[in-house]
Amino acid sequence: MVAMDMVVGAGGREEETADENYVKGVRHLCESGISRVPAKYILPVPDRPQVVPHERKNNTGSNLRLPVIDVARLRTSDRGRVLECLDRACRDYGFFQVVNHSMSGEALRRMMDVGKRFFGLPLEERSKYMTSDIRVPVRYGTSYNQIQDSVFCWRDFLKLSCHPPEEVLPFWPSAPIDLRDAAVSYAKQIKSLFCDIMAAVLEILGVGSGYLEEFDDGTHLVVINYYPPCPEPDLTLGMPPHSDYGFLTLLLQDDIKGLQVHHRGKWITVEPIPNSFVVNIGDHLEIFSNGRYKSVLHRVVVNSTKPRMSIASLHSLPFASVVSPSPELVDRENPRLYKDTDFAAFLDYISSHEPKRKSFLESRKLPTHEVQASPVA
């Protein structure tokens, strides 16, 4: 047990005396033996996950079978039909699940296992990577954006910047001993899977595969999310409603439900499929496709019995590149809807705003009177 300075607040809820303790993460908080959620994590009533009574047991709401894309069929004469399904999934859901992909079950298990062992290390070891600097190649932290969040989320994370590998690797955690090996091999394989899916998306959009080369040197972030069991899961969230910033996110999750997608005005729980990835459209692809595809809000609910882990890989263009609507997708009928954006603008935004839903993307929309038929901003 880790000793933490607690006082009992009004209503018997234990309150920590110092906010510094919260930044050590929820795993640390749980290890101190709490039986109620501290006030720091309690969301205002309208933001709480609303769980109907018969679904209360695992706090997951109604389930959704996302469209399933068989990636292996992209390499067969069926490619055309798979592209049609992919286009429909991107338009109707902004989310899909990929199966029959190039990554072995062993590579996925190895990465999950090393991530689990990282979160099992003593806090002293994990906290070597704790920093408020969002530009560093490795970052251990908690909540969604712990610098800006007024209410904290029930999540700890390890973020690994993956490109270029030879530059970032020396900064990655040296424990567990096999983390660097497992993560470098996972990052390489998932980047290749991302490129296969991105090639298909570019083909559907009809913008030519020239862009694909740019992704070779693109940004790549791997985020290992850890959600410990929560004594009062109805009061908080593992992650608040958000969209991801990149082109595509490829998410590996364990067999514990938790991811919810906002679909037709309702929060729907994604059914995990073993050895599959959940893929979603990010803000940069919404901008690049000039709104033909939309990034979709998603959030994570927690449960009272089992820890949950997920590993998100976020991919985009190189750090210095400008993301703008593809000229092929802007014309008189489809005027340009978004301003140019780059990583610096994104990082400035998240360091100075409390992240709310799709607020960064909203800030990149052109005002209606400036919507342009020409591709030039």
Ligand X SMILES: O=C(O)CCC(=O)C(=O)O
The single residue among 14, 16, 203, 244 that binds Fe ion, judged by CB under 5 A, is: 244
Q: Give whole-number Cα distances, 308 to 10, 74, 116, 143, 195, in Å.
A: 31, 32, 10, 15, 28
183 or 279: whose CB is closer to Fe ion? Answer: 279
Interaction between residue 298 and ligand X (CB under 6 A): yes
Interaction between residue 239 and ligand X (CB under 6 A): yes
Q: 358 near 295, Cβ under 8 Å?
A: yes
The single residue among 38, 141, 218, 258 that binds ligand X, judged by CB under 6 A, is: 258
- The interface region with Fe ion, picked from 103-111, 242-250, 256-264, 367-375 by CB under 5 A, is 242-250
Give the nearest distance from C-beta 177 to ligand X in angstroms: 25
- Residue 6 has φ and ψ, to the nearest 5°, of -115, 145
Interaction between residue 244 and ligand X (CB under 6 A): yes
Q: 176 near 117, Cβ under 8 Å?
A: yes
- Residue 30 has φ and ψ, to the nearest 5°, of -65, -40
Please report, as residue ranges, which positions from 306 to 325 form the binding site for ligand X (by CB under 6 A). Answer: 310, 312
Give the nearest distance from C-beta 225 to ligand X in angstroms: 5
Peptide bond into 165 cis (omega under 30): no
- The interface region with ligand X, picked from 37-45, 251-259, 322-330, 361-369 by CB under 6 A, is 251-259
The helix or strand, by DSSP H or E, that contains position 295, with its residue range, turns out to be: none
CB atoms within 10 A of CB 10: 7
Give the nearest distance from C-beta 76 to ligand X in angstroms: 30
Interaction between residue 250 and ligand X (CB under 6 A): no
- Using CB distances below 5 to 8 A depending on partner kind, what does residue 253 bind out of Fe ion, ligand X, none? ligand X
Give the nearest distance from C-beta 249 to Fe ion in angstroms: 6
User: What Rg value do the Cα atoms of the chain yield, rounded?
Assistant: 21
Give the nearest distance from C-beta 125 to Fe ion in angstroms: 26
CB atoms within 10 A of CB 134: 13
Interaction between residue 300 and ligand X (CB under 6 A): yes
Interaction between residue 326 and ligand X (CB under 6 A): no
Nearest to 90 by CA among 294, 323, 363, 329: 294
Give the nearest distance from C-beta 82 to Fe ion in angstroms: 25
Exposure b/e, 248-285, CB count within 10 A at least 16 = b: bbbbbbbebbbbbbbbeeebbbbebbeebbbbbbbbbb
Secondary structure E strands in 114-196: 138-142, 156-161
Q: Which two tokens stand for residue 372?
A: 């342009």
Considering CB under 6 A, how many residues would be counted as binding ligand X? 12
- The interface region with ligand X, picked from 53-61, 252-260, 339-347, 368-376 by CB under 6 A, is 252-260
Give the nearest distance from C-beta 157 to ligand X in angstroms: 8
136 or 320: whose CB is closer to ligand X? Answer: 136
Instruction: Characterize the bridge pairing of strands 259-263 and 95-99.
Output: unpaired
- Residue 357 has φ and ψ, to the nearest 5°, of 45, -120
Interaction between residue 296 and ligand X (CB under 6 A): no
Give the nearest distance from C-beta 167 to ligand X in angstroms: 23
The single residue among 97, 161, 219, 225 that binds ligand X, judged by CB under 6 A, is: 225
- Using CB distances below 5 to 8 A depending on partner kind, what does residue 66 bind out of Fe ion, ligand X, none? none
Which residues are at the interface with ligand X (CB under 6 A)? 223, 225, 239, 244, 251, 253, 258-259, 298, 300, 310, 312
